[in-house]
Structure 1
Amino acid sequence: MKTKLSLLLIVLSFAGMAQAQKKTYNQSLADSLTKLVAVDQIAAYIPTGEYKKLSHEQWDRFKDSVFTNHQKILENVFKKYGYPGFDLVGQKGSNHFWLMVQHCDKWPAFQQQILDAMRPEVLKKNADAKNFAYLTDRVNINTGKKQIYGTQMTYNTKLCQAIPRPLADSANVNKRRYEVGLEAIEEYQNSMSQMHFEMNKAGYEKQGITKPKLVAIPAKPTT
């Protein structure tokens, strides 16, 4: 009888733990992340609108203040809720959290902490595998390692061409990218080249460059 009672208690205990791990959707947190990411996106790109009036130094101070303030907020969110997956804030909210962590480059230890917490959520399909790939590369680059998925680019400004930052096992990069749902690195490289051209179009046209330098895109292997 004691044995049956002990087994029942163990089962109930595990059931309670599983129940505790389920998170209730938090609309307020999702809304807060939406508001924060709107400011994040202003700081992450070139100055537009009223921000064009800022000097280079003023713009840098603005960006730094945004990312510093957001890092503190994101850290508090993480301490309270763990990694905010789809169950807690929906797909958009989870993506917003991840995107702002991407821009916490001054705090690579924090990015690594989020990456570690994100891994099991990806396995449970409670977080985006593509986002995990981007953050993996970001952490590696920020800690002096080679990237895995080729998501981080630098630019040849003489040709207007995106070039992958140092990459581990480049021969198999597309295999790894396909596994997490990313397109071929060549296709991504071209899209980044095009975006870079559009963001710096006036300067490139002064140099006589009217379009970005693109690379050939390989056919995706059939399975």
Structure 2
Amino acid sequence: MNHELAAEFHRRAEQDQAARRRALEGGDGRELVRIDADNTAWLKRVVEEHGWPGITLVGEQGADEAWLLAQHADAAPGFQRRVLDLLRGAVEAGEALPCHLAYLTDRVRVAAGEPQVYGTQYTSDPNGNPRPLPVTEPDRLDARRAAAGLEPAAEYDRRVRGRE
């Protein structure tokens, strides 16, 4: 395991989450944009050097944090699509979690204007309440979610809406 790389993923993920908390509390969104851009540029270099940073390379926590940075690389949709392919291979090899693939799949599809597959992505209605974005084949949603290791859609919806 590359402990130095894992530590850097951890530092960047903590910075990512702190900036998101500040933005939600009414802070300056420019900080979040700057951090996402820096993390995306750094992750691109890591991927060029190592491929997808999976569990063997950076441990379970590091692989989780690598996914988080990729998930937040919205300003680089081409990179997210590339990472999605790498992540798919990593899941097949046991180097990444299927739930990470589900979330990034939905993120990439939503960015492309397509319906999501796993129902992980939400937007806000005019009153600021979360609502799920369109899903393909909604009658099979929970089966797809279960196969990816995700909770049923109704439970997730309650959690997203803060009604747990």
Question: TM-score category by the smaller chain?
Answer: over 0.9
Is the contact between residue 108 and residue 142 of structure 1 (CA under 8 Å) also seen in structure 2?
Answer: yes
1:32 to 8, 26, 37: 8
2:141 maps to: 173
Is the contact between residue 130 and residue 182 of structure 1 (CA under 8 Å) also seen in structure 2?
Answer: yes
Please list, as runs of the form range in 1=range in 2, the aligned pairs for 1:111-150 lying within 5 A after superposition: 111-150=80-119
Q: Distance in 2 between matches of 1:44 and 1:184?
A: 26
CA-based RMSD: 1.8
In structure 1, the residue corresponding to 2:118 is in which secondary structure?
coil
1:187 maps to: 155
Structure 2: 5+ residue runs without aligned partners? Answer: none
Shift of 1:161: 4.8
Q: TM-score, normalised by structure 1?
A: 0.69
Q: Distance in 2 between matches of 1:150 and 1:131?
A: 13
Is the contact between residue 162 and residue 190 of structure 1 (CA under 8 Å) also seen in structure 2?
Answer: no
Post-superposition CA distance 1:162-205 (Å, at most 9, x none):
321011111110010001110001100100000xxxxxxxxxxx
Q: Distance in 2 between matches of 1:193 and 1:46?
A: 20
Q: Percent of aligned positions with the same letter in both sequences?
A: 32
Tell whether 2:37 aligns with 1:68: yes
Structure 1 runs of 4+ with >4 Å offset: none
Structure 1: 5+ residue runs without aligned partners? Answer: 1-24, 195-211, 215-223
Post-superposition CA distance 1:131-150 (Å, at most 9, x none):
10000000000111110000
Question: Which structure has the larger Rg?
Answer: 1
